[in-house]
Structure 1
Amino acid sequence: MRNEGTVTAITAKGLTLALCAAGVIGGAVGALAVNHNNAAAEVAPPALAASAPAPAAVPAPPIAAGAPAATVTLPDFTRIASTNGKAVVNIRVVGGIKTANRGNVPEIDPRHPLYEFFRQFQDPRQGGGGGRGAPVFGAGSGFIVSPDGVILTNAHVVQGADEVTVKLQDRREFRAKVLGTDPRTDVAVLKIDAKNLPTVPMGQSRSLLVGEWVLAIGSPYGLESTVTAGVVSATGRALDDNVVPFIQTDVAVNPGNSGGPLINTRGEVIGINSQIYSQTGGYQGLSFAIPIDVAIKIKDQIVATGKVQHAKLGVSVQEVGQAFADSFRLESPEGALVSTVERGGPAERAGLKSGDVIRRVNGRAIVASSDLPSIIALSRPGERVALDVWREGKLVRLDATLGDASEKPKRAAREDLAQAPDNSARLGLALRPLEPIERRQSGIPAGLVIEDASGAAAIAGVEPGDVLISVNGRAVTSLDQVRDLVAKANKSVALLIQRGSDRIFIPVRIG
């Protein structure tokens, strides 16, 4: 799936991400996210209004005067709802007050104007401190994937739950066992003691097309077996630091839909409804589902071993914008720019360096930098991957054996390349070599100290005190090297700087 860009919460305008589990009271205002699945009070369901069913075929306007009217056939949602709805379940959880408050009552400053609003949902026996106190109830959705009672849902639905109850559409209820959860992908697997249960067929999310009809079944606000429909708005969405390439839809998903299936017009599950963007805590046209291809990988690991392993490459990456593309002589601003390489990690052993731009992994294009973490994290430790890397104006092939993401990273390698400015007016930097005592104190073996930044460099965000390590992927230790590299550059240069303990690339336009 092609990544269509990274979505970020615009908290300044009150837009924030919320996990769509049932029972959330109120919503998110400003930068406050009301998320997760537990609720401290019941919510009255919204009033229901009668509406006429949509016709099976809608006449389309004539293409030209006098031309016969065409018809557009709509999918038969009634068949899908009646068949697949039998395998969709309602999930109720019971957890202690300490667990519940972590999910839906934010810890905010008592001086905040919304403090009293959120405080009303806390159990008075909690007293603002520790202890589990009275139980709190939450809810979500899920769906049966095998006749012997294996159920898929979201990890945040059952997070910290002491007791999980599954209610089938035929009104039978079962105590469920949590076989395992994976917070990184927000997938959980449950098991109930039952046989010959209805199941939903699995589809392939990688074949989804933007504009395709889909529908969701779940229990928004506790209204069981609710069906909503819409279209696929985008695929491969990256949300914040999540490794999941989400499916974005305009299907109405609300608190309580979490863990429910997203279904295509062939009646196949192609996603698990997981998150929404909202100013109020309710649906506002942006819903996100975990691709079923991802969820099945996680489910198979949990069923087999009870846990999930994620792979790692051992690099930090940045987005490749137009300025970086110009600096590295790339035809298009695509790929993942390596800023740091973990010492002794898989990337370093494979020969990756800071300043490399990863363009493909096993033949799959890396368009945005967020494509790389999702491909790597959803692989297994020990897998070998082929990396197509842009280095010094040409493509090179590197092979890496992936490590285990659960292992603690070692200190980032200091031998990576960096971007360095020069003393010329084109960059607006005043530079000097690192003194021996500065090298010892900082741990930086070589580089140039920025004593002053003005002009293009200052506009780009370079600051006095930064240490500049390389220009366009070429390590620099003298002003002459910087002048030479800047003279050869065209529109911009990519500077790798060290600021405190962080290394970041900064593109500086000079043309």
Structure 2
Amino acid sequence: MEGNMRKIGITLLTAFVGGAVAIGAYKLLEPTSLSGLSLDERQKVYFTNNPSDISSSTGAPDFVQAAAVVSPGVVHVRTTYNRSRSQAANDPFGDMFEDFFGRRQRSTPNPNAPAPMGKGSGVIVTGDGYIMTNNHVVEDAEKIEVILSDKRILEAKVIGRDKNTDLALIKINTSNLPIVKLGNSDDVKVGEWVLAVGFPLTLESTVTAGIVSAKSRQIGILAPEVDRRNYDPNNPPTNSSIESFIQTDAVINRGNSGGALVNTRGELIGINSAIASQSGTYEGYGFAIPVNLAKKVMDDFLKFGEVKRGFIGVTFQELNADIAKELKLTEIDGLYVNSTLEGGAAEKAGIKKGDIIKQLDGQEISSSARLQERVGTMRPGDKITLGVLRDGQIKNFNVILKGNEATKLATSNKEVSEVMNNLGATFSPLTDAAKKKYGITSGVVVTSVAAGKVFDMYDMPKGTVITSVNGKGVNNNDQVVAALKEDSKMITLQGFVPDGSRFRVTFPVK
């Protein structure tokens, strides 16, 4: 009897000590503050204490578990605007690509009408209230409210916004929130099942399913708007936008903007951002920002208060059979280097005009969107290795990315600035999607027109597409300038005006 009592006592003591050690270890490991931690680190703390055992669906698709675990972490974002808020100008390809932020229709302002409102979605990524969403959901909002799954309404503040990626980080003051687990968008495969979760149209939380139909899509919706009244020809705008969307056929609509695209394990792989539509509602394809890019942007907001971008310092165009023929190349795959920026990272590494970028850190790179996405996850000072085809051989160049000085170098080209000033217009490269729309292989889009200058006089407005200058196909500013040198007396431009009508205009050089 005494022996049994001793065994029971030892067992109880062991259990007590074990429990105390476990509690002590948890308190020892538990951070006193989340300040300074990245999103990944914050999520590890959360999921250490809240383990999830969702596994990928096998056999017949079953999304019940993923939908149940993700839905509480996706919120409704409601915004209020000033009555006099100016409406953004239409994108030249706005009829083809619509965001699905539920904004009101443009109309004559009524001073007695309620303040205009908008709606979108957001994804909770930390238990203390950090929420990922789209920049266009919260841009210019006077008031931002977040409606949680438990129906609480909390006011949010903007931590950071980035137009170049259409991402924003907002914060609500609360704790113990359900969060969505961050996945790895590099692992996403075309054909895999995904769920889109958000607040479309006037509906409550909605889950739809589909597959990943493509990756690294560039659709041309993030090119910067240019204010023609404040246009400075000596400092023309540059297009630093990053578009490398995950394309899905999961049904998404206006109001889904900023919502979650997740895999069948309930992991966030993208932030829903846009749809391809001629009607403004779902017609088959939606586009999400890869979560790896989103994580980097959000971490920059947390650590620096702004986005830290690394730049290679090159201008390039994506090769295909038609472009290779124009350039008299035999290689039809890769990124052809049109120019390197003086003093830029690429030039210092030894990369030259005419090189063809084929690899980044040993991985094949054949699309500009993919290169921009990968570099977009890096910061100034980071090192990359570019595999470049030169003289029939792949040569590796170690490149140390530079910061914003790269864009300043890009806009300091006096020759380009002088030509743009004389024409009274600025240009951005035409996206692959727009080229397919018009059935062309080259082109630049006019991003601004100065009053009284050549483009204004010949009625070529913003949104006009220039396919050739003096018979030469053009894809960027450098090619426009080079083509203008082909004829010292006359200039001939060909292309499309915004309504799709073709034009050809010839005028004398002044």
TM-score bin, normalised by smaller chain: 0.5 to 0.7
Aligned counterpart, 1:463: 470
Matches within 5 A, 1:32-43: none
TM superposition shift of 1:335: 1.1
**Does the 8 Å contact 2:133/2:259 carry over to 1?**
yes
Give the alignment's Cα RMSD to 1 decimal.
3.3
Counterpart residue identity of residue 92, structure 1? R
**Structure 1 range deviating more: 403-412 or 179-188:** 403-412
Do the aligned partners of residues 464 and 216 (structure 1) sit closer, same or farther apart at CA in structure 2, a change above 3 Å counting?
A: closer
Counterpart CA distance in 1 for 2:108 and 2:245 is 33
Counterpart CA distance in 2 for 1:413 and 1:340 is 15
Within the candidate set 500, 503, 507, 2:484 is matched to 500
TM superposition shift of 1:197: 0.8
Counterpart residue identity of residue 408, structure 2? K
Counterpart CA distance in 2 for 1:355 and 1:224 is 53
Q: Deviations over 1:440-480 (max 9, x none)?
A: xxxxxxxxxxxxxxxxxxxx96837999xxxxxxxxxxxxx
Between Structure 1 and Structure 2, the one with more helix by share is 2
Aligned counterpart, 2:353: 354
Q: Deviations over 1:278-329 (max 9, x none)?
A: 0001100110011111111111111122211111111111121225657989
Aligned counterpart, 1:426: none
1:94 pairs with 2:41 = no
TM-score (norm 1): 0.61
Per the alignment, in what secondary structure is the counterpart of residue 239 of structure 1?
Answer: coil
Do the aligned partners of residues 330 and 158 (structure 1) sit closer, same or farther apart at CA in structure 2, a change above 3 Å counting?
A: same
Q: Deviations over 1:23-42 (max 9, x none)?
A: xxxxxxxxxxxxxxxxxxxx
Aligned residues: 343
Counterpart residue identity of residue 147, structure 1? G
Within the candidate set 207, 218, 230, 2:187 is matched to 207
Aligned counterpart, 1:143: 123
Aligned counterpart, 1:380: 379
Counterpart CA distance in 2 for 1:100 and 1:191 is 26
Do the aligned partners of residues 140 and 496 (structure 1) sit closer, same or farther apart at CA in structure 2, a change above 3 Å counting?
A: closer
Counterpart CA distance in 1 for 2:106 and 2:197 is 31
TM superposition shift of 1:394: 2.5
Aligned counterpart, 2:211: 231
Counterpart CA distance in 2 for 1:85 and 1:157 is 19
**Does the 8 Å contact 1:273/1:288 carry over to 2?**
yes
Counterpart residue identity of residue 498, structure 1? A
**Does the 8 Å contact 1:466/1:498 carry over to 2?**
no
Counterpart CA distance in 2 for 1:349 and 1:301 is 26
**Does the 8 Å contact 1:341/1:412 carry over to 2?**
no
Counterpart residue identity of residue 141, structure 1? S
Aligned counterpart, 1:409: 409
**Does the 8 Å contact 1:154/1:259 carry over to 2?**
yes
**Does the 8 Å contact 2:318/2:366 carry over to 1?**
no
Q: Deviations over 1:412-466 (max 9, x none)?
A: 599xxxxxxxxxxxxxxxxxxxxxxxxxxxxxxxxxxxxxxxxxxxxx9683799
Counterpart CA distance in 2 for 1:73 and 1:186 is 36
Do the aligned partners of residues 329 and 102 (structure 1) sit closer, same or farther apart at CA in structure 2, a change above 3 Å counting?
A: closer
**Does the 8 Å contact 2:244/2:372 carry over to 1?**
no
Which 4+ runs in 1 deviate beyond 6 A? 103-106, 326-331, 464-467
Aligned counterpart, 1:3: none
Per the alignment, in what secondary structure is the counterpart of residue 131 of structure 2?
Answer: strand
Per the alignment, in what secondary structure is the counterpart of residue 368 of structure 2?
Answer: coil
Counterpart CA distance in 2 for 1:99 and 1:208 is 39
TM superposition shift of 1:124: 3.5
Q: Deviations over 1:152-176 (max 9, x none)?
A: 1111100111111001011001111
1:172 pairs with 2:152 = yes
Per the alignment, in what secondary structure is the counterpart of residue 90 of structure 1?
Answer: strand
**Does the 8 Å contact 1:92/1:165 carry over to 2?**
yes
Matches within 5 A, 1:101-180: 101-102=87-88, 121-125=107-111, 135-180=115-160
**Structure 1 range deviating more: 287-296 or 94-103:** 94-103
Amino-acid identity (%): 39
Aligned counterpart, 1:130: none
Counterpart CA distance in 1 for 2:328 and 2:471 is 28
Counterpart CA distance in 1 for 2:85 and 2:378 is 31
**Does the 8 Å contact 1:105/1:122 carry over to 2?**
no
**Does the 8 Å contact 2:469/2:483 carry over to 1?**
no
1:309 pairs with 2:308 = yes
Q: Deviations over 1:216-240 (max 9, x none)?
A: 1111113121111111111121222
**Does the 8 Å contact 1:181/1:188 carry over to 2?**
yes
TM superposition shift of 1:179: 0.6
Counterpart residue identity of residue 390, structure 1? L
Unaligned stretches of 5+ in structure 1? 1-71, 109-117, 127-132, 415-459, 468-494, 503-511
TM superposition shift of 1:352: 1.9
Q: Deviations over 1:100-121 (max 9, x none)?
A: 6228899x9xxxxxxxxx9863
Unaligned stretches of 5+ in structure 2? 1-57, 95-103, 224-240, 416-466, 487-510
**Does the 8 Å contact 2:293/2:373 carry over to 1?**
no
Do the aligned partners of residues 462 and 393 (structure 1) sit closer, same or farther apart at CA in structure 2, a change above 3 Å counting?
A: farther
Within the candidate set 60, 63, 83, 1:74 is matched to 60
